[in-house]
């Protein structure tokens, strides 16, 4: 156990951050489901609409047209990712940027797994667009995963520079 940069308690702030992401993600999705019907779209800003969309696939609706097996496949991937991320957080909780990245990815992954288990699809509601081009709708969980991935890249770039 020599060389570890954490104490058992240092895991908890990262799990708490993941929990905040999950709660915010689920609360926003509940609001969307209660207030909008599938396919509704409301103009907010010239580049932003509030929509209600359902994604049975993964990022950018990958495998959305499959026959239903993808629900359980992506749920399983999310569960495996959760276990691996918690294990990594335990080992590297003292590495702030790395752990921040993992906590954001964990919160996002669990938020989308909850949707798959409850609804069979992920509820998306943020739609960005510009000049007739529309980015696929996404949610808080997707945003957390994206920011977490960017933080992982930044952490690795910083590590390589130091090395």
0.85 exceeded by pTM: yes
User: Tens digits of per-residue pLDDT, 107-121?
Assistant: 999 999 999 999 989
Return the SS3 of 55.
strand
Residues taking part in catalysis = 124, 142
User: Tens digits of per-residue pLDDT, 154-163?
Assistant: 999 999 998 7
Do residues 111 and 74 touch, judged by C-beta distance below 8 A?
Answer: no
Give the helix/strand (H/E) hosting 128: strand 122-130
pLDDT of residue 3: 41
User: Tens digits of per-residue pLDDT, 59-113?
Assistant: 666 555 555 676 788 788 889 999 999 999 999 989 999 999 999 999 999 999 9
User: Tens digits of per-residue pLDDT, 4-40?
Assistant: 444 454 899 999 999 999 999 999 999 999 999 999 9
């Amino acid at each position: 156990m020599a060389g570890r940069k954490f104490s058992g308690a240092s895991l908890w702030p990262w799990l708490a951050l993941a929990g905040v992401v999950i709660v915010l993600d689920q609360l926003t999705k509940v609001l969307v489901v209660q207030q909008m019907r599938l396919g509704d779209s409301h103009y907010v800003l010239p580049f932003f609409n509030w929509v209600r969309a359902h994604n049975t696939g993964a990022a950018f609706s990958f495998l959305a047209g499959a026959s239903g097996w993808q629900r359980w496949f992506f749920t399983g991937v999310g569960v495996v990712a959760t276990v691996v991320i918690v294990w990594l957080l335990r080992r590297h909780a003292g590495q702030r940027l790395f752990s921040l990245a993992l906590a954001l990815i964990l919160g996002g992954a669990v938020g989308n797994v909850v949707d798959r288990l409850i609804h069979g699809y992920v509820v998306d509601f943020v739609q960005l667009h510009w000049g007739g081009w529309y980015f696929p709708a996404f949610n808080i969980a997707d945003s957390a995963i994206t920011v977490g991935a960017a933080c992982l890249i930044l952490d690795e770039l910083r590590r390589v520079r130091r090395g």
